[in-house]
């Protein structure tokens, strides 16, 4: 993409959070000064001070700079010596990529609670396609607002969001919204947003290309859009000229592409202390089944084969699976299946890890499910779909199985201590 500093900042009411978002189903979410913000989160005494990640050694390069440091001209990829000369009072910290990766995973998990169509570009930014999420979560701008609120509440980090009808414009929007802001570019005002920008804001325009365009008298994106294509070809070449001409008119047909097509969906949990108590394992399997079920529903998948994985204290691993009469995405059915498999296995040795997986995935929309005799028309599936909508907006700690409410240690499916089991709640009564 072009240089982000070329894109102007500041509020324009035409592109504010309340602008018309009809057809603007592409979101670009960009974390604000991500590495530096993660460091400030764990060192609150640094809040409000210029913080630079990286760049400490004689050949060091700046990886991230807080906005307090950026006011002095410090930028990512700048030599550390230059950053120190610009801002001698800055606090320089070595990068901790394990911490940044962990924070990134947590943020991306929030995105995937909203839509399975998440395309990460790096640890700190991603495209989201929220077209399919509108039925449950409302309009795109409202979804973007809810994402920003969740990231702040759950991760104590801020992000900026661009809401638009294409990936290119959404990314420009998030850059202009920084820091900690949101911009909506209405589908019928894309050119009003785009054409006043400098040409080096365009994807693919670096310093050399910008020099060529400036020599042609093309300063803004609007100038480039009005230039004859043959003139651009003569200066930039066939491919670059066609690419930039299309972008200058806001034309970008690329879709949001998730990382990979999943053939199975699963989750695992490793105990801090090896476990023998069946009640503890029962609760763990329920938490894992809840996570797997939510991922299936978010991705629009169902699966017929449910599997359990158990690793003993000596690292011996046992797996068992069962193929169901029909495909499912219902947490309750997944849990009942893995609990039945566990009871058949009845391991006597202490357990260090348990896992739940659903395999044989198929699109839910093309896989009809026949009700069994006596099964209510509305029940667990409807209750869990409603819980998904609440979780996407407020987080999974708000709603879920009664025996897991308040147990964030289990529901994150991270390492956890022993616990006692609460009897599982009965199925919801159909109305």
Binding-site sequence positions for Mg(2+): 30, 124
| Active-site residue, from 125, 290, 333, 384 | 125
CA–CA distance from 379 to each of 384, 391, 403 (Å)? 9, 18, 18
Cβ atoms within 10 Å of 230's Cβ, excluding its own: 8
CA–CA distance from 108 to each of 103, 132, 257, 368 (Å)? 9, 18, 14, 30
Let me know: does 388 contact 136? Beta carbons within 8 Å. Answer: yes
Of 125, 87, 117, the C-alpha closest to 4 is 125
CA angle 3, 50, 5 (to 5 degrees): 10
Let me know: does 291 contact 413? Beta carbons within 8 Å. Answer: yes
What backbone phi and psi angles, to 5 degrees, belong to 296?
-60, -50
Let me know: does 144 contact 161? Beta carbons within 8 Å. Answer: yes
| CA 227 – CA 54 distance, rounded (Å) | 42
| 125 given a catalytic annotation | yes
Let me know: does 290 contact 348? Beta carbons within 8 Å. Answer: no
| CA 139 – CA 159 distance, rounded (Å) | 19
| CA 299 – CA 128 distance, rounded (Å) | 13
Of 368, 298, 287, 300, the C-alpha closest to 334 is 287
How many CA within 13 A on the CB side of residue 5?
Answer: 8
**Which residues are catalytically annotated?**
125
């Amino acid at each position: 993409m072009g240089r982000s500093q070329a894109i102007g900042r500041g509020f324009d009411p035409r592109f504010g959070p309340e602008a018309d978002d009809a057809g603007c189903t592409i979101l670009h979410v960009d974390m604000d000064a991500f590495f530096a913000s993660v460091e400030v989160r764990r060192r609150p005494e640094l809040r409000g001070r210029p913080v630079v990640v990286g760049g400490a050694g004689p050949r060091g390069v700046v990886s991230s700079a807080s906005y307090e440091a950026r006011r002095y001209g410090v930028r990512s990829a700048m030599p550390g010596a230059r950053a120190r000369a610009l801002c001698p009072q800055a606090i320089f910290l070595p990068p901790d990529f394990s911490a940044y990766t962990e924070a990134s995973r947590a943020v991306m998990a929030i995105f995937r609670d909203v839509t399975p169509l998440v395309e990460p570009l790096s640890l700190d930014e991603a495209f989201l396609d929220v077209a399919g999420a509108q039925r449950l979560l409302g309009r795109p701008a409202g979804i973007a607002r809810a994402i920003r609120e969740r990231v702040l509440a759950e991760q104590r980090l801020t992000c900026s969001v661009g809401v638009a009808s294409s990936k290119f414009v959404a990314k420009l929007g998030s850059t202009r919204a920084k820091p900690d802001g949101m911009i909506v570019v209405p589908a019928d005002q894309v050119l009003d947003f785009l054409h006043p920008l400098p040409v080096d804001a365009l994807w693919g325009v670096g310093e050399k290309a910008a020099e060529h365009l400036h020599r042609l008298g093309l300063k803004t994106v609007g100038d480039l859009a009005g230039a004859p294509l043959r003139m651009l070809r003569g200066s930039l070449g066939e491919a670059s000229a066609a690419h930039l001409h299309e972008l200058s008119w806001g034309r970008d047909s690329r879709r949001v592409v998730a990382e990979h097509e999943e053939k199975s969906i699963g989750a695992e949990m490793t105990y801090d202390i090896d476990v023998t108590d069946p009640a503890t394992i029962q609760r763990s399997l329920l938490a894992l089944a809840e996570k797997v079920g939510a991922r299936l529903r978010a991705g629009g998948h169902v699966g017929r084969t449910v599997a359990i994985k158990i690793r003993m204290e000596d690292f011996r691993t046992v797996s068992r699976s069962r193929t169901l009469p029909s495909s499912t995405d219902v947490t309750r059915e997944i849990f009942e299946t893995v609990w039945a498999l566990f009871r058949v296995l009845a391991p006597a040795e202490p357990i260090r890890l348990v896992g739940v997986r659903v395999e044989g995935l198929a699109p839910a929309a093309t896989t009809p499910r026949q009700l069994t005799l006596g099964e209510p028309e509305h029940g667990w599936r409807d209750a869990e779909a409603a819980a998904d909508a609440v979780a996407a907006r407020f987080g999974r700690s708000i709603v879920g199985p009664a025996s897991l409410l308040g147990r964030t240690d289990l529901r994150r499916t991270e390492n956890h201590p022993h616990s006692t089991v609460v009897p599982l709640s009965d199925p919801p009564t159909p109305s």
